[in-house]
Amino acid sequence: MMFSKIRIGVYVALLAAGFVGLACSSDGTSVPAAVPIATTEAVVRAPASIPEAPTAGYDSNQAMHAVFPGFSLTSQEMIIALDEIAIRRDRSLVPVLVEIIRYMPSALAHDRVGDALRAVTGQDFESDNWDAWMEWLGRNRADYPPPSDYVRWKIGLMSDLDPRFATFLRPALEFSRIDLTEVVWGGVLPDEIPDLRNPPMIAASEADYLNANDRVFGVTINGDSRAYPLSIVNAHEMVNDVVGEEPISLMW
């Protein structure tokens, strides 16, 4: 069994933009500036009688693009779209609204999106509590499938963060084994967190920097065994190596 020789260091992320991860959190990171939401005190309110599903004259795909057309959103489009979503209780827009909560530029914007979400779902999470909304949606995702054009919308949203995200996501227009509603921005741009690439190895008996209860990722391929300490992998989030003459990628 071999261990990586590189010792963990202090990793400091200096950029406030992001890497795509699966359901990663990015508390405290900055996001690209968006056009401010109108400063009116009005909030989204559903009328007493609300249809259970979208009706004629309303299109979920159009509402999705209007409620957050990338980071160049206009306040009036967003307000109208949120009103429509709440009034019609459009369940397909729930994954979209949950995703954009984290990008809202003000408390008023959070409240507008939160009011629409509460009107549609009946949940009572705080408007700016993205973690709570994401955890709830993860448990109930099958009940809220997104609109048919969601993949295209998602590519546009992520491309506004960095055009390279389109390269990662565009194949999903044809086929994906991953539910793209679970793919979220991790807080840094592509390649801003350096991967651990072909790290030098030492024998397990020489790994005196590890404690007995330290966790490692164990990999054995074609009789070749490696152990990648979590304390080292954590700073890189990705390991690219060759084990047993086979290329591997390990993500954390």
* Judgement on whether residues 68 and 162 belong to the same structural domain of the protein: yes
* Judgement on whether residues 163 and 231 belong to the same structural domain of the protein: no
Under 8 Å between Cβ of 4 and 210: no
Query: β-strand 196-197 against 238-243: which pairing, if any?
Result: parallel
What's the rounded Cα separation, in Å, for the pair 11 and 13? 7
pLDDT at position 105, please?
77
Q: Which two tokens stand for residue 207?
A: 């790994």
Under 8 Å between Cβ of 97 and 81: no
pLDDT at position 197, please?
94
pLDDT at position 73, please?
55
Task: Give all strands (DSSP E) within 20-178, no chain letters.
Answer: 20-22
**What is the residue range of 36's domain?**
30-169
* Judgement on whether residues 118 and 238 belong to the same structural domain of the protein: no
CA 35 to chain centre: 21
Under 8 Å between Cβ of 190 and 176: no
What's the rounded Cα separation, in Å, for the pair 238 and 222? 22
Position 182 in a domain:
no
140-186 pLDDT, tens digit per residue, is: 999 999 999 999 999 988 888 899 999 989 999 998 888 889 888 88
* Judgement on whether residues 40 and 164 belong to the same structural domain of the protein: yes
232-244 pLDDT, tens digit per residue, is: 999 998 999 999 9
* Judgement on whether residues 122 and 223 belong to the same structural domain of the protein: no
* Judgement on whether residues 158 and 236 belong to the same structural domain of the protein: no
* Judgement on whether residues 150 and 65 belong to the same structural domain of the protein: yes
pLDDT at position 2, please?
47
What is the arithmetic mean of pLDDT over 48-57?
A: 50
* Judgement on whether residues 131 and 204 belong to the same structural domain of the protein: no
* Judgement on whether residues 163 and 53 belong to the same structural domain of the protein: yes
pLDDT at position 107, please?
81
pLDDT at position 71, please?
61
Which residue among 169, 200, 221 closes a domain? 169
Closest CA to 178 of 169, 187, 167: 169
5-47 pLDDT, tens digit per residue, is: 333 222 222 222 333 333 333 333 333 433 333 333 333 333 3
* Judgement on whether residues 156 and 197 belong to the same structural domain of the protein: no
pLDDT at position 69, please?
55
Which of 30-39, 83-92, 243-252 shows the lowest mean pLDDT across its residues? 30-39
pLDDT at position 86, please?
95
* Judgement on whether residues 115 and 198 belong to the same structural domain of the protein: no
Position 21 in a domain:
no
| 100 — pLDDT class (breaks 50, 70, 90) | very high
CA count, 13 A, side-chain hemisphere, 150: 18
What's the rounded Cα separation, in Å, for the pair 77 and 59? 14
Is the pTM higher than 0.85? no
Using alpha carbons, list the distances in angstroms from residue 202 to 2, 85, 229, 237, 247: 5, 58, 12, 21, 19
pLDDT at position 22, please?
34
- CA angle, corner 205, sides to 204 and 211, nearest 5? 75
Q: How many domains does the chain have?
A: 2
pLDDT above 70: percentage of residues in the chain: 75
175-222 pLDDT, tens digit per residue, is: 888 888 988 888 888 888 899 999 999 998 999 999 989 999 999 999
What is the residue-averaged pLDDT of the chain?
Answer: 78
* Judgement on whether residues 205 and 115 belong to the same structural domain of the protein: no
Q: Which two tokens stand for residue 40?
A: 């009116």
Position 183 in a domain:
no
